[in-house]
Structure 1
């Protein structure tokens, strides 16, 4: 028996939750991807980051965790659910049950889910933002990837809702700018492009990686820096980037920005299939 919501019920009724290491310890990783017209954007980059993260956690991925299998599974799920051409894919991997803080097994469970996703329009890519006050991030062996231990981002999400803004900029424990709640951050000052170093504890975003390539191909050297809040205050343009697209900050701490759309257009070249 277990007490579930203060009601005694047979343990089997809650399934494997009390044994699941993803639920009990956040012992796993996930990747969120976009599938358009049957093609998963940046799939190889997502798998590379996932494998690096699993290696850091000493989790052994199954041999079936490969590009071909994922594409096949996503297509089958999309067809079964009757979804359209623009889909959000979540790939979650976590260590199999057993043990307390010290696990018994290093084998992995894998789950793929798909949901329809709304495409960005001209009306929803300008955002109002602020600095996060309730949460920070820190550099670690796995800060570059997306872990199931996401309380820093949950707290930031709650604060965002309370402040009635579209997003929040999170700093690290030393006060350096790191990232938005679920996206990386870039800013431009005097035609120079900046983004936080991975050593701030920000996620090594897949869009971030590909946007940097595009910018450098267009002659811009992206400076990876340790920056304070005031560096953003005096920026000319601030952009938020993730697999869903690119957004432009229109307001930060009450200051408005006249951000040219040309920068967003350039950043979006990274998403061309």
Structure 2
């Protein structure tokens, strides 16, 4: 089952026109979230990012999303798809109507899909540095969708080179993010992460990691570092809505792992 503009329908009944602006112009964005134990994990943060993304794109969100009714509808969809215990949600929002580069309306249409999933492994990652693309900071780089092709090309390079993930750099060769995760590193009890204007996505779990660190008394810094700086870290990890994973090697060079710290963080964020 799918949820299309608040209507619960079988997948086979979904009909989108060829003038659909998501298809024609990628005129929208998406959110990926996790359903766990009949709850939408970090949902308030997802809603806040959706509202910020809609403002950036001059999209008018449906009242369903603004009022909070959407959460109830999504949990019902999860039950219908046997995904309430653990499932992966993708919520796609786009500008409705037709038109060419000048749209006919700013009202958003939306589509939600939820499928059962298994919890991600916690095995440490072996990552490389992406050479195919660079991240680009813009008013639209903090949310998911407008720059999706960059991550697709990085994913192809990852597959070709046999890494678990790739570090994406900006044009100044500064660390920005991984393909679908934020990256953090710990050094002398200071927690570092790339600044938002390196072009990285403002990750939901990344925001929660920063909050936890501040509540715990760990100093945080959003920085502009090169890859070589990471090799000196006491611990490096990736995080996204599926979980938190240590990084074991970068371009074949081993880095320090502090699994006790990572496990403490996982427990604090209820992974």
What TM-score do the two structures reach when normalised by structure 1? 0.89
Separation (CA, whole Å) in 1 of partners of 2:203 and 2:176: 12
Structure-2 residue corresponding to 1:204: 202
Instruction: Give 1:235 shift.
Output: 2.0
SS in 1 for 2:63: coil
Instruction: Give 1:66 shift.
Output: 4.0
Which residue, 135, 151, 154 being the options, matches 1:153?
151
Separation (CA, whole Å) in 2 of partners of 1:67 and 1:161: 41
Structure-2 residue corresponding to 1:235: 233
Structure 2 residue runs of 5 or longer lacking an equivalent are 1-13
The alignment covers a number of residue pairs equal to: 258
SS in 2 for 1:64: helix
Separation (CA, whole Å) in 2 of partners of 1:128 and 1:213: 27
SS in 1 for 2:80: helix
Instruction: Give 1:148 shift.
Output: 4.4
Instruction: Give 1:193 shift.
Output: 1.3
What's the CA shift string for 1:154-186, capped at 9, x where partnerless?
Answer: 000000111111100101122111000001000
Structure-1 residue corresponding to 2:185: 187
Residue 26 of structure 1 contacts residue 149 of structure 1 at CA under 8 Å; is this kept in 2?
A: no
Matches within 5 A, 1:81-120: 81-120=81-120
SS in 2 for 1:250: strand
Which residue, 185, 198, 213 being the options, matches 2:211?
213
Structure-1 residue corresponding to 2:136: 138
Instruction: Give 1:272 shift.
Output: 2.7
- Change in Cα spacing, 1:248 to 1:67, as seen in structure 2 (3 Å) is farther
Separation (CA, whole Å) in 2 of partners of 1:267 and 1:168: 22
- Change in Cα spacing, 1:60 to 1:205, as seen in structure 2 (3 Å) is same
Structure-1 residue corresponding to 2:4: none
The reply on whether 1:62 has 2:55 as its aligned counterpart is no
Separation (CA, whole Å) in 1 of partners of 2:174 and 2:185: 14
Structure 1 residue runs of 5 or longer lacking an equivalent are 1-13
Structure-2 residue corresponding to 1:7: none
Deviation larger for 64-73 or 194-203: 64-73
- Change in Cα spacing, 1:196 to 1:115, as seen in structure 2 (3 Å) is same
Separation (CA, whole Å) in 2 of partners of 1:47 and 1:125: 30
Structure-2 residue corresponding to 1:45: 45
RMSD: 1.8
SS in 1 for 2:64: coil
Instruction: Give 1:32 shift.
Output: 0.8
- Change in Cα spacing, 1:17 to 1:234, as seen in structure 2 (3 Å) is farther
Instruction: Give 1:80 shift.
Output: 2.0
What's the CA shift string for 1:207-248, capped at 9, x where partnerless?
Answer: 111111111111111111011121112222110011111011
What TM-score do the two structures reach when normalised by structure 2? 0.90
